[in-house]
Amino acid sequence: MITFPHLGNTYILTKILLDELGIKHVIPPLNSNETLEIGTLYSPEEMCLPFKIMVGNYIQSIKNGADTIVLVGSNGPCRFGEFCELQKNLLTNLEYNLDFIVLESPQVIGKEEFKNRLYKLSGSSNRSSSKKWKLLGKTIMAIRFLEEIEEKNLERCGYEINKGEHKKILYQCKSALNNTHNIDDALKVLKYYNNKTEKTPVDRKKKPIKIVILGEIYTIIEPFSNFHLTDKLMDYGVSIKKGLSVSWWLADAFLRPLRLNSINIRKASMEYLPHYIGGHGRECIGEALLAIKESFDGAIQLFPMGCMPEIVAKVILQRISKDKDFPIMTLILDEMTGEAGFNTRIEAFLDLLERRQEYVLFGS
């Protein structure tokens, strides 16, 4: 049976896809302190938070019958590209007999190898090839649709008239998706909640604090890794934008060889970081500079302890913050990070942004 690590809400639609394909699978329990404790126990101490949470996902799924792990790959100067080998060795040393299917860009591994890995993943399905591709296309469409709904609710929550409405819509949407059994029904659910979002009244005369969340993609997307940061900011009435998403990653991976990927981000980053440094360091810089042009009030950088690209980005962000008079707070995450201190820093940052906003509006 196949399993895969959690990454935000993608498990909901991936489960529906696997159900429709008739592929046996195990969804790991939602990330929790238990997941992190298991991953930390068996992982090397110097490994980053995403690595440890993923190991926890795998071991929890293995106990429920999983024997094959599906993982996306990466290349470039970032440890994520080595996760599959490191995790495979780790689990082998624990005497688990597992198979890994690593999905990487066809430009990296070649079209034939890419097809072989897809076949290995979907070979147990009795669906026709055309049906498989059609379901995959609809699933990717649904993932993007869900992200758009989240983007709208995160942005609109700062302008909402009835506090908490947009957060409620997001949770209702995810709950409804969990109760669907095919991708067509999932798309109907998404259409319904997209319309509900757009019909929810907002007051555009409000001047909410506007924050962009930057940094390493896993810690941006996976809520457990960042103590559900977006939920906290929504509760404070902040208008939020998240820099990276799963569908962005997919598009970026396929368009990068043609240099058609993230054109706006690459252009924006040229002033401070004209080259790729691995991970999402360049995207972090580009998104920060775009946020300044879009009149955001500040940015929060998230990154797991030891992430080299984000360490480089942190230094550059400090320079940008000084040069552009743009507040940027960096939150470094590992298994030792305490939620109380995390919350205190967020509250202090929001207080700073509110005072700056009052100064601009009232000149005092």
From residue 224, alpha-carbon distances to 49, 53, 88 in Å are 11, 9, 24
Q: What burial letters (b/e) apply to 130-145, b meaning 16+ CB within 10 Å?
A: eebeebeebbbbbbbb
Residue position matching structure tokens 């090839």: 129
* DSSP state for residue 22 in the 8-state scheme: T
Tens place of pLDDT per residue across the chain (364 aa): 999 999 999 999 999 999 999 999 999 999 999 999 999 999 988 889 999 999 999 999 999 999 999 987 765 566 666 777 888 889 989 999 888 888 877 777 777 888 888 888 888 888 998 999 999 999 999 999 999 999 999 999 999 999 999 999 999 999 999 999 899 999 999 999 999 999 999 999 999 999 999 999 999 999 999 999 999 999 999 999 998 888 888 887 777 767 777 889 999 999 999 988 888 899 999 999 999 999 999 999 999 998 888 999 999 999 999 999 999 999 999 998 999 999 999 999 999 999 998 876 666 5
pLDDT at 83: 78
How many Å apart are CA 189 and CA 182, to the nearest integer? Answer: 11
Are residues 108 and 75 in contact, defined by beta-carbon separation less than 8 angstroms?
yes
Name 99's bridge partners: 68
| Sequential DSSP letters for 143-198 | HHHHHHHHHHHHHHGGGBSSTTHHHHHHHHHHHHHHT--SHHHHHHHHHHHHHHHH
How many Å apart are CA 40 and CA 66, to the nearest integer? Answer: 20
From residue 146, alpha-carbon distances to 171, 199, 240 in Å are 12, 17, 16
Of 246, 236, 219, the closest CA to residue 166 belongs to: 236
pTM tops 0.75, yes or no: yes
Contact partners, residue 11, CB within 8 Å, separation at least 6: 4, 27
pLDDT at 98: 87
Torsion of CA 104, 108, 114, 118, to 10 degrees: 0
Output the six-digit token pair for 197.
């979002």
pLDDT at 274: 92
